[in-house]
Amino acid sequence: MKHTFLFAMALALIISGCQEQAPAPPKGAGPQKPANQSQIQQPQTGLALNGADPVEVTKKVVELYNQLLSDSYRSLNMTPLLQVATQEQADKAYIHMAALGEGKARMISKLKKIDFMEVIPLKGGTYRASTKEVWDFAYEDIKTGKKNSEVKDFVYFVSYTVENRDGRMVITNVSAISNETDKKPKGTRK
């Protein structure tokens, strides 16, 4: 059961995938909640094409998404994801982060390596980027900062759907699988 929980939480990290880092909230603070009805709001999303190769921009969007996702879990604020992802995709990450916060935990993650297996055009200015990613992640108590569990070198195979929306490349969907079900956490997860 514990092993399944950790796998599900790690998988959610990707499903939820840096130029600006939000400061970490004070110890003991829970997830930051948006001030308005919508979970997260921000205008203009995505990286501008500006005549660049859409395959290269797709790769940059995926890399930035992963950096922002990692930073957002650490800071307990998913709003920065809207720089490169749709509202719907950012909301998925927010829901997962809030669930962790209810358990008084935050995820600390680090993307160690990303290999683009392929980036293929679909129809209508949409691209699918398939990656192999290696992550380290741990859960820490929000109040004390004490790590409850840690996993190193967790491998994911991830598929990102990236759409051209008015000249800006935006992540609209992320799905991940892992063949790392045998990885055992170090420490205990409460």
User: Is the dihedral angle over the CA atoms 85, 181, 100, 111 positive or is it negative?
Assistant: negative
Q: Which tokens hold the place of 101? A: 């916060």
**For residue 177, what pLDDT is reported?**
86
Examine the pLDDT at 174 and tell me if it is beyond 90. yes
Q: Poorest-confidence range of 124-128, 149-153, 178-182?
A: 178-182
**For residue 60, what pLDDT is reported?**
97
Instruction: Give 72-125 pLDDT, tens digit per residue.
Output: 999 999 999 999 999 999 999 899 899 988 889 999 999 999 999 999 999 999
CA distance 47 to 168: 5
Contacts of 59 (CB under 8 A, 6+ apart): 116, 119, 129
For the segment 146-173, the average pLDDT, to the nearest whole number, is: 94
In 129-160, which positions are buried (b, 16+ CB within 10 angstroms) versus exposed (e)? bebebbbebbbbbbeeeeebbbbeebebebbb
Instruction: Give 42-68 pLDDT, tens digit per residue.
Output: 456 789 999 999 999 999 999 999 999
Does pTM surpass 0.95? no
Examine the pLDDT at 152 and tell me if it is beyond 60. yes
CATH fold of 2-16+46-187: Nuclear Transport Factor 2; Chain: A, (3.10.450)
Instruction: Calculate the dihedral angle through the C-alpha atoms of 89, 100, 24, 73, rounding to the nearest 10 degrees.
Output: -30
**For residue 183, what pLDDT is reported?**
55
Instruction: Calculate the dihedral angle through the C-alpha atoms of 109, 152, 11, 48, rounding to the nearest 10 degrees.
Output: 50
**For residue 96, what pLDDT is reported?**
87
CA distance 82 to 28: 26
Q: Where are the domains of the chain?
A: 2-16+46-187
**For residue 63, what pLDDT is reported?**
98
Q: Poorest-confidence range of 4-8, 26-30, 80-84, 142-146?
A: 4-8
Examine the pLDDT at 34 and tell me if it is beyond 80. no
Q: Which comes out higher in pLDDT, residue 176 or 20?
A: 176
Categorize the per-residue pLDDT at 154 as very low, low, confident or very high, splitting at 50, 70 and 90.
very high
**For residue 78, what pLDDT is reported?**
92
Instruction: Give 119-147 pLDDT, tens digit per residue.
Output: 999 999 999 999 999 999 999 999 999 99
